[in-house]
Amino acid sequence: MKYKQQFKNMPIDTSWTYEEDREWFIKKCSNLAYGEDTIERGYSMEEVIERLKVFSEFSLKWEEHSGEESC
């Protein structure tokens, strides 16, 4: 993957340009979704993204709910 910078005046972390760093990132994100060895257990990228979206939505709802109790 060749990242094409869209905003020339914004700095980009060089990790995005190294294949090994991107592979590490993908593995860590997929493991957050389904646990260790997610890739090897056959989950698709789409499944990982959908699961992370659910976690994110649940987290937002939890934050909203817990904020109501503290008032």
pLDDT of residue 11: 84
pTM of the full predicted structure? 0.69
Is the Cβ–Cβ distance between 50 and 37 less than 8 Å?
no
Q: How many residues does the chain have?
A: 71
- Give per-residue pLDDT as tens, 12-67: 888 888 999 999 999 999 999 999 999 999 999 999 999 999 999 988 777 777 76
Burial 33-70 (b: 16+ CB within 10 A, else e): bbeeebeeeebeeeebeebeeeeeeeeeeeeeeeeeee
Which pLDDT belongs to residue 4?
A: 73
**Cα separation of 34 and 12, whole Å?**
29
Q: What is the pLDDT of residue 6?
A: 82
